[in-house]
Structures are given as structure tokens and as C-alpha cells.
Structure 1
Amino acid sequence: MLNSCFSKINTRLLLLLCFCVHFFWGALAQDLTGGLTLNHSDWVYNTGEQVLVSGTIKYKEQLVNNAKVKYEIGAEMMSPIITDSIITNNGTFKIPAGTMNQPGFLRCIINIEYGGQQYRELITAAFNPDNISPTVGMPYDFMDFWKNAIEKNKSIPLDAQMILLEDKSTSELNVYEISFQNYTPGSRIYGILCIPKASGSYPAIFNPPGAGVHKIAGDLSTAKKGFITLQIGIHGIPLNMDESEYENLANTTLKRYRVDGMYDRDTYYFKRVYLGCVKAIDFIYSLPQFDGENLAASGGSQGGALALVTTALDDRVKYISAYAPALSDLTGYLCGRAGGWPHMFKNIGSNQHKAVYSLQYYDAVNFAKQIRVPGLYSWGFNDETTPPTTMFSVYNSIHAPKELFIEKESGHWYSSRQTTKRLDWLQSKLKPN
């Protein structure tokens, strides 16, 4: 599949198109408002259908006439194929955005200046998203590579440690800072564990983190519903440092962790991370309060990818909830369409083929193909961090019971409807006491 994509690298309109809406506000941008809509209310089109973008610009609730609206149209995350401007008529405008001839996402971005304020909005139309296929190749020894790595990691004693955090604990929950050994002797994964105080056994939720270098707070609100929750950090650093220390690491040692070692499948940063997620399942199984059966992996963005990875590598995970998974279909850019976060192939130079080979072993798409348990998946069409093209590449690769909850207007954030859906779904599957 990937080789055929290389031959079409200059064909911009091959891609999945899904129109996304995102608002950028200036200092007083509440005065300047606007709204983009599409001629299909669900923003979903068949290939060949024409997209019409409509907009309304207001300043202090008054329609803005004769305002200049600059716009760009093209496949999401790619260079625009149309760049032009239009003048509002009674505050409104319409832009014929064209169509796509293959499954993908087509995006329109507008920019205006008015009253000393800047305004940006985007909207993305999806073309046959259920037919989007991934570009990443599947190594013949994919699961053997990971089974061997997991087996080797088992030789590292768990050496679990738990410290009760009295200031975080409540009348309902005991909250702990925990750590366990992973990857090499002395290397540790740290996390926050929440356990209901009432006697009994409980289902558990493993929650790997989103991207970045930061403290881990723990998921107390979900634990209060009758779950054991374990939230981990991935960088092997304690959770009780000053904020300035995390900021320093984020700008120095860990600044490029997303791509560190990516040219070799054995040195890529995420090898330690993926194995640490499996060790986290070992830790949960060591807890006497765990019911020994009902376990879900749940996360968003980087955490969404790690939930996919953990579920694929460990059959003790019975359910998965993955929102806007990163690290998905990374090679999309090499085929003239959006690739997944952290977008290392967008401007890659030398050693491209080395990276293509090694990162096949880390792409969330290839883990999605291994999943055999029920899952809930969700994202928005407006996402500029984990492009919907890449997320559909994941979803369409899953051959297990699955449910998709689209919040089309959202960008790289989650609405209250999405968070409520996640909790309701987990409760229905894990059935806490």
C-alpha cells in the first residue's frame, strides 16, 4: 500500500476530507464572532459531491458588511489548493469549496481582521471516511517483535512501591503515588492510583497520559464511581517535583522525546513507554482490591494511542476507550495526505526509509489491527493535532465490536458530551458495584 502511495506523492486530492471547525480568539475576540456551516449538516459527503461553505461575521452582535474574508481550501494539514478572498454581503458570504475524488478530508480556513481584532475559523468536510485505508505497512514479524520484548521485560522485577497521599485522599478514596520497575533495572514508571475505601473488589481503568512533560493528577472523579483508576506518566520521573523542573525537562532533555531514536525500532523512545504500559497491567493485577477480570484501557491523544497499544499487547484488557489517538498512520504525509502526531514525516529529510521501517512497529494502526475486545472511539472533524484522516485509518482497521462517537465541531479537545459518553460506556461495560 505504501509503495503505491509513494508513486502518487504529488497528487494532493487523494485524501480523506473532513471539514473541521476551530476558533482562535484575540485579546477581546468575544466582540468578533463568526460561524461556518456546510451544505450537508453532518459534514459528510460522497466523493464527487460539491461542498459549499457559508459564513456569517458579526462584531459586537452586529453583522459586518464589506469585510474582507481571506480563505484557504485544501486537504487537511496539506498546502492549500485554493487561496482567495471574498467580501461579506450583509455580513454573510458563500464559498464553493469543490469536491474530492477519493475518501478524505477537505478543509476551509478563513481569516479576517476587524475592529483591531484577528479572527480565524475552520471547517472540514468528510468524504466517505469509512473507506479511508491506512498507508502504513505491516511488518511480517510485528507481534513477534513485541512478544519477545514483553517476555524480556518480564525478567525485570516489578518492585512495586506505593506511598499514600493523605492530602489527596478523601473519605471515599485512598490515593497513592506509585512506581514500578520497567525496561532496565532501576528505571521506573510513576503514577497516581485511586482505590475506593469501602471493602470489596473493584473493576479497574488504566489511563495512560496525553503528550508532554507534566505532573499526573490521578482520576479521582472516575474512581468515586466505583473504579480503581491508575494514571501513569511515561517519562520515568517522579510526580512531586516543582512545576519549574517539569518545564525545564520539557525544554531540554525531553524536548524531542517524540522522535528520539526513531530511526531504529530498538532505540525509539516509545519502546520503553509501550512496555511500561504492559507493566502497568501487571501492577493492577497485583492489587488485592482488583476484581481480577474487569479492566479497561482509556486515554486521549497520546493516551489514546497508548490505550490501543496496551489493549493489543495484553489480552487481560477487556475494553478500550480511545479518543483522538495520536501516533496513527504516521506515513500519510509520504502519500500526499495528513499523517499522525507527532508529524515526523511532514518535513523529513535524510534517513526517511529507516524511519518508515522502524516506525511501522509503533504505529497505532498496526496495533488497532490486533484488537479483539469491545471499544468506544471518539474525535472531532476540527482536529489539527491528530487529523481525522489518521483516526479513521485506525478505526477502519479494527475488526472487533466498536462504537464511534463523532463530535464534528470539536478540535483537539473533548466536549462534555464526549466525556459523559466515555464514563457511561465504561460503567455499562465494567459494571462497578
Structure 2
Amino acid sequence: MSKFNRLFLFLVLSCSTAWAQPVEQLIKVIVAPDHTDWIYRIGEKAKFTVTVLENGNPVKDAKISYEVGPEKLKPAVQQTAVLKDGTLVIDGGTMQTPGFLRCAVTAEVKGKTYRRLATAGFNPTAIQPTVTMPADFSAFWNKGKSELAKVPLDARSTLLPERCTENVNVYHVNIQGYGNSRLYGILCVPKKEGKYPAVLRVPGAGIRPYGGDIARAELGFITLEIGIHGIPVNLDPSVYTSLAAGALNGYPSFNIDDKDRYYYKRVYLNCVRANDFLVSLPQFDGANLGVMGGSQGGALSIVTASLDSRVKYLAAMYPALSDVTGYTKGRAGGWPHLFRGDMVSKEALETAGYYDVVNFAKQLKQPGYYTWGYNDETCPPTSMYAVYNSITAPKDLYLLLETGHYVYPEQVEVLGGWLTKQLKK
């Protein structure tokens, strides 16, 4: 196996559980829009063909229930049916504004239930964000970066001999971050003397340990995989389980009513601090710095590149924290779905404008590669298109329509390969 292939195998295997592909099931429920590209014009009717298969053959008299409506909102249609010959065509109706119409089907076969969905896009390239841009958005973040610049790095690196390879040294790093916080991560550096490009890997949501991007370092990169919670990233897994259920449970909404104290202020600025550390390393080539991540990490990739011009390229998978105010305008908002309920404070809405990925995307200058699917129920495609349509920098989108909140190896290969090529020019 080539070094290049080993890299992508490692990346696929090291993805967090949020990136995992769905498990194969005995009974397969297939839901397919009648347009092969899943795209419709405003006012055009979408039809969904449902097929229930066992061993590749239609299941006769399969009982199904289905819902059709705008993603993440109350269904416009809720029905049940019996598939006499294992298939059914559902009239999904249409949409009068750009967005996504979702058909979710649950089949009951031999006492077990199986669920699948498909999502039709209505002129998605015309979706516009709902979140507002604060007048002092740039000033707010410039002040934060100025405050950060006055804080010494105070970087402490501890070699992890058990993780090192013949070609790569692996360290647990502890860096002084924004305010009184510390930033922790796993640094991987090629042993061979020379100058190397660097990649910052930013994490998806959750609380967990990290192993570092050793395989990419084997190919001649400095890599730093960080956590965001101000705790070491090499502790016993039980520590993270306890924090996730206790002190850090619900962290995406911590202090949402105060833009200066919101949880993600430290997180965003510490991503810049991670780059401060990377560019300070004597092995860095002085020019080529990339950032990549998925979900929360997709958001942080965009935010980091927007805040830090030292980043030359970014690769983002299904970015979260995108157009989170969508629910206040009658459509889906992005993870963590802060405004889905009835109680929405003026202060929280104000804070959202300073942290929403849309407003960072508008200021991006770096080329980026993006990927997602229409069936994502965690990061709705409406929210992600609100970001993508706001980007004026060079951009490419790799769509795998049926994917949800996970990636196929092909997506990792395309985005990782693109980032590798750009940084190795």
C-alpha cells in the first residue's frame, strides 16, 4: 500500500463517531427523488419513490409510515401505507422559496423498524442567510486577536514515545491560550531535518481524547490536532465521558446571552493561537498553512481561515454553527439548533451574529474545498448553503447527495488530496 493510500485509510479510521458511515442492515429502505440530481425549480413538484428490499428483492406488503415537509420543521404530510409490491411513489409537493423538502420513511418488517430519507433541493444556490452581520463584527474580532497577541505562547511539549514512529515524533502540547485558558493538542513533526508545510486539524463537537494526524506527518507535514475545551487530550477516556455528562454538557449554549463571555469566543481565538504555535516551529516552511475539520470542525475551519490570513487553504466537511437563526425565520437553522424552541432572547440573537459561520464566510479570502450531503439531519443543508452562497473566495463543493452527518472514504480522499496538493505546490 502506498504512503498516500495509508494516509487516507488512517484519516477514515481516525474520524470521530460523528463521521462514521451508517451500518448496513438486512432490510434496505430506499427513498429516491424522481430527479437524479435531486434538484427542482421553485414551484415544481417533487416525487419520491420508496422501495423496501430484502436480499435485493422487494418486500411485499411492507408497512410504512412517511413524513414530508421542509427539513427540521413540522411535516406537512404524515401518512401510512402498505407496499403491495414493495414500492410506492409519494407526491411530495413543492416549495415556493429556495430550500429543502425532506421525505422520511420508516418501514416495519418482521417486527423491526428501518428508517431512510431523501431530500429534494429547490434552487439551493439561491438560499440566502437569515443571520445579520453586526456593524462592529470586524472590530469585535480584531480586538480579541489584539488581546490574544499580548499573551505569551508559553508552549510546553511532551514527547510521547509510545506514539512516535520511525519517521515522526509525536508530542502532547500545552499552550497558553486566550484569557486564562490553556490549549491542548497532539503535535506530529517529521524527524528528518527540513522545512515542512503545516496542517491544523480542528475537532468536531464533543469531548474526547485525540491521537494526532500521524499519517499526514509521515507524508511530510507538521500536523496539530487540537481539543477546544481547555483540558489535556491524552487522558483516560472516562474523564471525557464524565465531563460530557456533567460540567461540559450543553457547552454550545454556555453564556449565549453575552457575546463577550460566550463559550466559542475562547474557542475561536484559540484556533488562531494554535496557528501562532505552528508558525513558530523551526520546522515550519514559513508559508504553507492549512486547516481542516468536519461538523463543528468544519465551522472552525472556516472561522480560523477568516480570522487568520496566515491560513492559505481550508477543507471543511458539513460545517456546523451555520445560519443558526434560520428557525426564527421559519426554516431550518444549523447545529446546535439554539433557536429551535419558543424562548429566544434578544441578547442570544445578538450574540449569534458575532459567532455564526455565515459572517466569517463572507470575509473569507482563501480557496476552500467543501463537502456535504442533502440528508444531513444534524447540519441541515439549508444552513450550509447559506454559508457556501456567502463565500466569494475560490470554492469547490463535493456533493454526495444521499449522505447524512457522516463521510464516505471518497470525500476524505477528495478533500484531503486537494489540501495535500495545494500545500505541497
Q: Would the TM-score normalized by the shorter structure come out above 0.5? A: yes
Question: Does 2:387 align with 1:387?
Answer: no
Question: Does 2:147 align with 1:152?
Answer: yes
Question: What whole-Å deviation, never above 9, does each CA across 1:321-364 have from its counterpart, x for those lacking one?
Answer: 111111000100001100010001001415x2111101100000
Q: Secondary structure at the match of 1:320?
A: strand
Match of 2:371?
Answer: 378
Which of 132, 135, 156 is matched with 1:137 structurally? 132
Are 2:185 and 2:233, in contact at CA under 8 Å, matched by a contact in 1?
yes
Are 1:376 and 1:402, in contact at CA under 8 Å, matched by a contact in 2?
yes
Match of 2:112?
Answer: 117
Which of 66, 82, 90 is matched with 1:95 structurally? 90
**Residue 156 of structure 2 aligns to which amino acid in structure 1?**
Q
Question: Does 2:179 align with 1:184?
Answer: yes
Which of 311, 333, 336 is matched with 1:342 structurally? 336
Which of 226, 233, 240 is matched with 1:239 structurally? 233
Shift of 1:30: 2.7
**Residue 397 of structure 2 aligns to which amino acid in structure 1?**
L
Distance in 2 of aligned mates of 1:61 and 1:313: 50
Shift of 1:294: 0.5
Question: Does 2:300 align with 1:306?
Answer: yes
Which of 355, 358, 362 is matched with 2:355 structurally? 362
Are 1:23 and 1:121, in contact at CA under 8 Å, matched by a contact in 2?
no
Distance in 1 of aligned mates of 2:44 and 2:220: 48
Are 1:58 and 1:91, in contact at CA under 8 Å, matched by a contact in 2?
yes
Question: Does 2:280 align with 1:286?
Answer: yes
Distance in 2 of aligned mates of 1:239 and 1:153: 22
Match of 1:50?
Answer: 45
Distance in 2 of aligned mates of 1:238 and 1:121: 39
Runs of 4+ in 1 over 4 A off after TM superposition: 22-25
Distance in 1 of aligned mates of 2:280 and 2:410: 34
Question: What whole-Å deviation, never above 9, does each CA across 1:203-259 have from its counterpart, x for those lacking one?
Answer: 111111000010011111222222111110000101232111111111111002110
Distance in 1 of aligned mates of 2:308 and 2:349: 25
Could you say what the CA RMSD is over the residues aligned between the two structures, in angstroms?
Answer: 1.5
**Residue 210 of structure 2 aligns to which amino acid in structure 1?**
I
Shift of 1:86: 2.1
Distance in 1 of aligned mates of 2:350 and 2:359: 13
Greater relative contact order: 1 or 2 (C-alpha under 8 angstroms, separation 6 or more)?
A: 1
Unaligned runs of 5+ in 2: 1-19
Match of 1:4?
Answer: none
State the TM-score, normalized to the length of structure 2.
0.93
Shift of 1:60: 4.3
Question: Does 2:291 align with 1:297?
Answer: yes
Q: Secondary structure at the match of 2:290?
A: strand
Question: What whole-Å deviation, never above 9, does each CA across 1:248-273 have from its counterpart, x for those lacking one?
Answer: 11111100211000001001000010
Are 2:31 and 2:105, in contact at CA under 8 Å, matched by a contact in 1?
no
Distance in 2 of aligned mates of 1:224 and 1:102: 48
Unaligned runs of 5+ in 1: 1-21
Are 2:370 and 2:398, in contact at CA under 8 Å, matched by a contact in 1?
yes
Are 1:31 and 1:61, in contact at CA under 8 Å, matched by a contact in 2?
no
**Residue 349 of structure 1 aligns to which amino acid in structure 2?**
M
Q: Secondary structure at the match of 1:108?
A: strand
For this pair of structures, how many residues does the alignment match?
A: 406
Shift of 1:31: 2.5
Question: Cα–Cα, structure 1 residues 153 and 172, in superposed 2: closer, same or farther, change >3 Å?
Answer: same
State the TM-score, normalized to the length of structure 1.
0.91
Identity of aligned residues (%): 49
Distance in 2 of aligned mates of 1:367 and 1:291: 27
Match of 2:402?
Answer: 409
Distance in 1 of aligned mates of 2:410 and 2:291: 20
Shift of 1:383: 0.4
Shift of 1:59: 3.1
Question: Does 2:309 align with 1:315?
Answer: yes
Shift of 1:63: 2.2
Match of 1:15?
Answer: none
Deviates more, 1:393-402 or 1:109-118: 109-118
Question: What whole-Å deviation, never above 9, does each CA across 1:39-64 have from its counterpart, x for those lacking one?
Answer: 11111111111111112112344422
Are 2:21 and 2:408, in contact at CA under 8 Å, matched by a contact in 1?
no
